[in-house]
Chains A and B, each alone.
Chain A
Amino acid sequence: MKPMIMFANVDKWYGEYRALTTINAEIRQGEVVVVCGPSGSGKSTLIRTVNRLEAIQGGQILFEGHDIHGTDANLNRLRSRIGFVFQSFNLFPHMSVLDNITLSPTKLRGLRQGAARKQAMELLDRVGMAHKAGAYPGQLSGGQQQRVAIARALAMEPPVMLFDEPTSALDPEMVGEVLQVMRSLARDGMTMMCVTHEMNFAREVADTIWFMDAGEILERATPEQFFSTPQHPRAQRFISDLRAH
Chain B
Amino acid sequence: MFKDFDLGPILSGEYADLLLRGAGLTAQLMLYAWSLAMTLALLLVVVRLTGKPVAERLVAGYVSYHRNVPTLVQLMLWYFGVPTLLPESTQLWLANFSTEFIFAVIALGLCQAAYFCEDLRAGLRAIPTGQTEAARALGLGYIRSMRYVILPQGVRNALPSLINHTVLLFKNTSLAMAIGVVELTYAARELENYTFRTFECYLVATLGYLAVSLLLMGAGALLARHFNQARAR
Contact = CB atoms under 8 A, between A and B. Distances in A.
Q: In the complex, are there CB atoms of A and B closer than 8 Å?
A: yes
Interface in A105-120: 107-108
Contacts of B133: 53, 86, 90
A93 B131 CA distance: 9
B148 to A, nearest CB: 6
Contact of A86 (B130, B144, B153): B130
Contacts of A79: 136-139
A104 B134 contact: no
Interface stretch (A131-139, A226-234, A236-244): A131-139
B231 A138 contact: yes
B148 A53 contact: no
B228 to A, nearest CB: 9
A94 B232 CA distance: 10
B171 interface: no
B140 interface: yes
Given A92-B149, A93-B153, A94-B153, A76 B137 contact: no
B138 A93 contact: no
Chain B, interface SS category? helix
B3 interface: no
B232 A103 contact: no
Interface in A79-113: 79-82, 84, 86, 88, 90-94, 103-104, 107-108
Contacts of B148: 103, 107
Given A90-B130, A94-B231, A53 B153 contact: no
A17 B133 CA distance: 23
B233 interface: yes
A163 to B, nearest CB: 12
A86 B136 CA distance: 12
A32 interface: no
B156 interface: yes
Interface string A39-70: 00000000000010100000000000000000
A76 B136 CA distance: 7
Interface in A131-164: 136-139, 152-153, 156
B231 A137 contact: yes
A77 B139 CA distance: 6
B152 interface: yes
A48 to B, nearest CB: 9
Nearest to A141: B233
B152 A103 contact: no
A90 B138 contact: no
B37 to A, nearest CB: 24
Looking at B128, B137, B230, B232, which has the most chain A CB atoms within 10 Å of its CB?
B137
B92 to A, nearest CB: 53
Contacts of B136: 53, 79
B61 interface: no
Contacts of A77: 139
A234 to B, nearest CB: 30
A180 to B, nearest CB: 23
B137 A51 contact: yes
Contacts of A78: 139
Given A79-B136, A138-B233, 17 more contacts: A53-B136, A76-B140, A77-B139, A78-B139, A80-B138, A80-B139, A84-B134, A84-B138, A90-B128, A90-B133, A93-B153, A94-B231, A103-B148, A107-B144, A108-B138, A138-B230, A138-B231
Interface of A: 51, 53, 76-82, 84, 86, 88, 90-94, 103-104, 107-108, 136-139, 152-153, 156
